[in-house]
Amino acid sequence: RKRVGHHRGGQRTSLHQVPGNAPRPRSIPAAPPRHAMARSSMDKYGKIGDQAFARMEKVNSDLLALTYGALVTQLLRDIEDVDAVNATLEKMGYKIGLRIVDEFLAKSNVGPCQDFRETCEVLGKVGLRMFLGTSAECVQWNRELTACTLVLPENPLADYVELPPHLTNRLWYSNLICGVVRGALEQLQMRVECRFQKDTLNGDEHNMIRLELKEVMREDYGDDD
């Protein structure tokens, strides 16, 4: 059973179903070498993400972490099957992701992305910054540039959480994030697979989410007649 406490009174973070801001830095795996243009783009999106986050409404991060912890705890009590809880958290996040795209487009000041790689940079530097309060690095790209790993130096959802041994390496506590990413990208006509690879709650050094593009969907407008 999770133990969730709160110690950061007064700190505030962005809120839109997906919470948080956490101040404790960790080292992250180095990103592969990039061209100067790609590096410039990444720096640009980092600044855009900070500006967008500053415009978001704020809520107490302790309350947010406790609320999410209570949600996961209740699901474990009601469902009693860890795999089903993981799936439920992902589905809940998916529904959130479908809804937040319009707000992202309205408040982020980001133009259309040229490819999946740029989309992931925007997701990591702007989207997660706006709604989760932290940014992610995009690393470990495949040769086709259709899959990468998002490395989160911090996971605000997991603040003050300690998993008991019987849930370690079984419960993906923050699986809501994967659902949000899947739902948001599907609204942008990209079907993706998104899953946690590593989680500091399981004793891993980093929080790592694997993201893979499965299909670029085409909008069907139907017959004009």
DSSP-derived secondary structure for 121-156: HHIIIIIHHHHHS---EEE---TTSSEEEEEES--G
pLDDT at 25 > cutoff 90:
no
Rounded distance, CA 140 to CA 31, Å?
A: 7
Query: What's the pTM?
Result: 0.80
- The stretch 126-130 carries a mean pLDDT of 94
pLDDT range class, residue 223, cuts 50, 70, 90: low
55 Cβ contact partners less than 8 Å away, ≥ 6 residues apart: 107
Q: Find the angle CA(187)-CA(148)-CA(167) to the nearest 5 degrees.
A: 85
For the stretch 132-189, pLDDT in tens is: 999 999 999 999 999 999 999 999 999 989 999 999 999 999 999 999 999 999 999 9
Residue 208 sits at φ, ψ, to 5 deg, of -130, 130
Largest CA distance in the chain: 62
pLDDT tens for each residue of 73-126: 999 999 989 999 999 999 999 999 999 999 999 999 898 999 999 999 999 999
Enumerate residues 6+ apart whose C-beta is below 8 A from 205.
26, 198
Give yes or no for residue 9 having a pLDDT over 60: no
Q: pLDDT tens for residues 200-214?
A: 999 999 999 999 999
Question: Residue 153 carries which DSSP code?
Answer: S
Sequence-ordered list of residues with C-beta below 8 angstroms from that of 64, at least 6 positions apart, any chain: 13, 15, 19, 20, 156
